[in-house]
Amino acid sequence: MDLSIILILLAALIVIVIPVTIYNRLVRNRNQIDNAFGAIDAMLKKRYDLLPNLVETVKRYAAHESQTLTQLTGLRAGKGYQELDPTAKAGFDREFTAAARSFFALAENYPDLKASENFLQLQRTLNETEEQLSAARRTYNAAVTEYNNSAQTFPSSLIAGLFGFGPRKVLEIPQEERATPDLKKMFDN
Amino acid sequence: MSDELVEKLHAAVRPQCEAFEAQRATYRRQVVRTSLALVAVAAAGSLLFDDLLIYGLCALTGAGIVIAVVAGIRSSRLTGYYKTAIMPEIVARICPGATYSPDEGIPYAMFAGSDLFRTPDRYSSEDMIAGTIGLTKFQFSEVQAEEKIVTHTKNGTQTRWQDIFRGFLFIADFNKDFRGRTTLTPRGPLGALFGGSDRVKLENPEFMKRFDIRSTDQVEARYILSPSLMERLVALSDKYGRGLRVSFTRSLIVVAIPSGTDHYEASVWRSITSHKALQRDILSILNLTAIVDELNMNTRIWSKR
């Protein structure tokens, strides 16, 4: 083969094939983040749908515990999860943990509530949802880390800069007491 | 703790062990006497022939084969006693309610379903122990999966069997429900150089150093492999070495632990008490049943009961 043809092919590889591959990888990584965020959203919805059960259980076993009741009904505010805007979703994520904690604290004073099948079922479902939510957050963070690694390391950082692939922030995995991550920003993206 | 427990279990089966040893002594005497008689006949016979060396060698080889067959038959009788009188007693004491079935094993479908190994050409499994610890059902057995290697040389075709896996397969009911499949295999020297969309990257560096993780569902893999389970699996891998493989499929956990020795067998030539064979078998059962607690499988705080 002629040397000039080899050189042309080599140049084509450098100018077209490599940048396209890098660009596609960045897009794939970004889509992965969106996909992982979808999983968090789905889990938050599952958690949101548990609210009526929580309210019913409190009404049935500890109706005069108005504070917890208000806290729980306030979280739902008569809306479906899909109707919430990003700020409300983030707020719900933040406040739910506190509400759930006061619900479980309440059970300590009501043996009937604590022993009821309803309560045990709720407790298991909540544990499950929290565990899955935590898994979804960890998946999101893994996707963000992979994307950031691509967007910030050479040579893919050149393509990232050119096409506006800015860095994303990882979520802080909330400890029990710690406030929840800033989900609003994520929803706004 | 385990030394004391092994000693206790040893004491519990002492009468059976003594009966075993008495029988073994009788068998061994028989084999030795038969051997001496055969060798004497072979030697005497060879004196009658001119070609002493060739006849002598043939006679000795013949005698050797007969001795090996007699010893084999006696050993298998002893193994039968060991498996019916000693092993079930030990299993019942370690895990009340558990059963020991010497001729049963993990079905091939379960081995294949774990997705931990290549498809073997030959598969066998025996010595199944099954039971329940707390809320967790478990079963484990010895498994041997081999592949046929055919080599063509100048002298013709040679066939040999090579192990894909030899050791214990431990299967238990896992405490969470899941639909996909997640596998942990030992991390190779090249690490995760060749990625794939099914590869899972987790946050625990010690865990990532030991295992190559693949899953059909990224979120589910993290749901199963919680930070605490990762720590526990690191400890388990340190205990059993780097060959440990784990698969999570159909709400079950499958743990494959390589082991070169054939467990739960007896021989006329080996004492079960002084050669630590019994101790080794007791320890294997103790260690395998301990996995349920080591991986915290009895916790049922999730929706699975």
Residues B153, B252 share a domain: yes
Q: What is the pLDDT of residue B193?
A: 60
A144, closest residue in chain B (CA to CA):
B201
Crossing angle for the helix pair A18-48 and A117-152, nearest 10 degrees? 160
Same domain, B146 and B252: yes
Which chain B residues contact residue A125 at CB under 8 A? 303
Q: Which of A124, A132, A146 sits opposite B223 (nearest CB)?
A: A132
- Sequence-ordered list of residues with C-beta below 8 angstroms from that of B204, at least 6 positions apart, any chain: B227, B230, B231, B234
Question: B220 and chain A: CB distance < 8 Å anywhere?
Answer: yes
Shortest CA distance from A127: residue in chain B: B302
**Who's near A23: CB < 8 A, 6+ residues apart?**
A159, A163
Q: Is B226 close to A124, i.e. CB distance below 8 A? A: no
Between A24-28, B38-42, B198-202, the lowest mean confidence (pLDDT) is in B38-42
Same domain, B12 and B46: yes
Cα distances from B57 to residues B31, B54, B63, in angstroms, run: 20, 5, 10
Across the interface, of B176, B219, B300, the residue whose CB is closest to A39 is B219
CA dihedral B126, B131, B136, B137 (to 10 degrees): 50
Q: Best interface-test mutation with B: which of A131, A149, A171 has the largest number of B CBs within 10 A?
A: A131
Given CB atoms, is B151 within the 8 Å cutoff of chain A?
Answer: no
- In this prediction, residue A80 has a pLDDT band, given cuts at 50, 70 and 90, of confident
Task: Give the start-to-end residue ranges of the domains of chain A.
Answer: 3-188
Q: Domain count of chain B?
A: 2
Q: Is A123 close to B301, i.e. CB distance below 8 A?
A: yes
B129 in a structural domain? yes
B168 and B199, same domain (yes or no): yes
Is B154 in the same domain as B193?
Answer: yes
Last residue of a domain, one of B61, B83, B98: B98
Does the pLDDT at position B229 exceed 50? yes
Contacts of A127 in chain B (CB under 8 A): 301-303
Kindly state whether residues B301 and B192 are assigned to the same domain: yes
Do the beta carbons of residue B142 and residue B125 sit within 8 Å? Answer: yes
Q: Spell out which chain A residues touch chain B, with contact meaning CB-CB distance below 8 angstroms.
A: 36, 39, 123-125, 127-128, 131-132, 134-136, 138-139, 141-142, 145-146
Q: What is the structure's pLDDT at B176?
A: 86
Q: For residue range B163-217, what is the model confidence (pLDDT) as tens digits? A: 999 999 999 999 888 889 999 999 887 765 666 778 998 888 889 989 999 999 9
Q: What are phi and psi of A65, to 5 degrees?
A: -85, 70
B100-125: string of b/e by CB count within 10 Å (b at 16+)? bbbebbbeeebbebbbbbeebeebeb
Token pair for B55: 């006849």
CA distances from A67 to A92, A102, B263 (A): 17, 9, 63
Kindly state the DSSP code that residue B106 receives in the 8-state scheme.
Answer: -
CA distance B220 to chain A (A): 7
Identify whether residues B89 and B109 lie together within a single domain: no
Q: What is the ipTM of this complex?
A: 0.71
The domain boundary, picked from B98, B126, B143, lies at: B98
Question: Considering the entire predicted model, what is its pTM?
Answer: 0.81
**Who has greater pLDDT, B50 or A87?**
A87
B270 within domain boundaries: no
Residues B299 and B235 in one domain: yes
In this structure, the answer to whether residues B207 and B186 fall within a common structural domain is yes
Residue of A50, A124, A126, A170 to mutate, interface with B, max B Cβ within 10 Å: A124
- State the average pLDDT for chain B: 88
The pLDDT tens digits for A45-66 are 988 888 888 888 888 887 777 7
Whether residue B87 contacts residue B264, with contact meaning beta carbons closer than 8 Å, is answered with: yes
Domain with B35, as residue range(s), is 1-98
| B132 and B259 fall within a common domain | yes
* Strand B156-173 relative to strand B252-258, pairing: antiparallel
Among B98, B126, B156, identify where a domain stops.
B98
Query: Quick one: which of A167, A154, A169 has its CA closest to A22?
Result: A154
The answer to whether the Cβ–Cβ distance between B223 and A36 falls below 8 Å is no
- B2 lies in a domain? yes
Q: To probe the interface with B, which of A120, A121, A137, A138 has the most B CB atoms within 10 Å?
A: A138
Do residues B80 and B137 both lie within one domain?
Answer: no
- The least confident of A174-178, B38-42, B133-137, B181-185 is A174-178
Q: State whether B75 and B112 are in the same domain.
A: no
* Three-point CA angle B160, B164, B167, nearest 5°: 115
B88 domain residue, yes or no: yes
B7 inside domain? yes
